[in-house]
Structure 1
């Protein structure tokens, strides 16, 4: 599957198809993103396509960030990235294909604004860190963010 000419990683399309791509536990979100989630949304394929259609036209420097050698990458390029969801208003996270077209890294826009931070080396690592790499069980009573 492609969006804006970029191929979604197989692990992500499998997670979506197997219904594992869902709101993670609050504690997992805090651990991975080091932020307090407000209104978490992980986009389904339809929402991902719509959000990324708009994303291509983004020009606001607050969303694009700036290059940062101390905490790379700092910035993002809408033409080589795909939005996956958000942690709350103005807190998107995305796949960044600039380093690898096969294994894009996962970035998020820090709540302080204009600073994109790497949270996972690839989607497989993000799924594992958010504990979305396995199907939920009946015993899985982890509280979810609403």
Structure 2
């Protein structure tokens, strides 16, 4: 499936189809995004289409950020990104296809404004960190399981 000419990752489509793409616990969101979430929304496919249609037409430079060599990327390109949801008012998070067409990274707009921060290397990592990957809570899909004594 495509939105704005960009392919949605298979793992995201699977999570949506299996109804795992839903708002995680607030403490999980705080740990992953290092923000205090307010009115969190993970878009369903119809909401993604609508939000990303508006995203291509966005004119407010505050939403685009600024390039930052110390904390890349800092900015975002609406034509090469897809919004996935909101952490709160004016706090979107998105797939960034500038890094890869097949494995876009995941960024969010910092609550302080004009700074996009990488939160996950790809959607699979985000799903695991948000505990939406179908694995038992506390297990990271990229890390070996630890024994509890």
Trace 1:96-135 onto structure 2 (pairs within 5 A). 96-134=96-134
Are the counterparts in 2 of residues 107 and 117 from structure 1 also a CA contact under 8 Å?
A: yes
Give how far 1:99 is off.
0.8
Q: Aligned equivalents of 1:55 and 1:79: distance in 2?
A: 8
Q: Which has the higher contact order (CA 8 A, sep 6+)?
A: 1
Q: Aligned equivalents of 2:130 and 2:27: distance in 1?
A: 9
Match of 1:142 in 2: none
Q: Classify the secondary structure of the residue corresponding to 2:83.
A: strand
Q: Over residues 63-119 of structure 1, what are the superposed CA-to-partner deviations in whole Å (9 max), with x where a residue is unaligned?
A: 000000000000000000000000000000000000100000000000000000000
Say how many residue pairs are matched: 137
Q: Classify the secondary structure of the residue corresponding to 1:112.
A: coil
Are the counterparts in 2 of residues 75 and 114 from structure 1 also a CA contact under 8 Å?
A: yes
Aligned-pair Cα RMSD in Å: 1.3
Q: Aligned equivalents of 1:135 and 1:24: distance in 2?
A: 14
Are the counterparts in 2 of residues 18 and 135 from structure 1 also a CA contact under 8 Å?
A: no
Q: Aligned equivalents of 1:102 and 1:18: distance in 2?
A: 21
Q: Aligned equivalents of 2:56 and 2:117: distance in 1?
A: 20
Are the counterparts in 2 of residues 20 and 135 from structure 1 also a CA contact under 8 Å?
A: no
Q: Over residues 3-51 of structure 1, what are the superposed CA-to-partner deviations in whole Å (9 max), with x where a residue is unaligned?
A: 0000000000000000000000111100110000000000000000000
Trace 1:60-71 onto structure 2 (pairs within 5 A). 60-71=60-71
Trace 1:26-41 onto structure 2 (pairs within 5 A). 26-41=26-41
Q: Aligned equivalents of 1:103 and 1:59: distance in 2?
A: 27
Which consecutive unaligned segments of at least 5 residues does structure 1 have? 137-146
Q: Classify the secondary structure of the residue corresponding to 2:47.
A: helix
